[in-house]
Amino acid sequence: MTRVTVLYFASLRDAAGVASEVVDSSEGDLRALYETLRARHGFALPVDRLRVAVDGAFARWDDVLRPGIEVAFIPPVSGG
């Protein structure tokens, strides 16, 4: 198991009920992690409408999970 911290924003935070959580994951990459958490929390947004960041920088969905990283799921942005 890999222990990571996950950050949620906007509609994802509302659906999860928390702004962040620590997750022990057996998933291999960020895409699989999102799919697992999407099922758990009922996120409406599919993975192809999100971006993902690790430790404050944009990352790729096939990046592998590493212990202690901070993962942020980025729903479609609406600033401006």
Partner 1 sequence: MARFSLSDTPVDTATLRANLLDDRVGAYASFEGWVRNHNQGRPVTGLRYEAYLALAESEGGRILEQTCALHDILDAHCVHRIGDLAIGELAVWVGVTAAHRDAAFAACRFIIDEVKLHVPIWKHEHYAEGDAGWLHPRRE
Binding interface with partner 1 (CB under 8 A): 7, 9-11, 14, 45, 49, 53, 56-58, 72, 74-80
CB of 67 to partner 1, least distance (A): 20
24 or 51: CB nearest partner 1: 51
How far is residue 15 from each of residues 6, 37, 40, measured CA to CA in Å? 14, 11, 10
24 or 78: CB nearest partner 1: 78
Rounded (5°) CA angle 70-23-75: 55
Token couple for 2? 């890999």
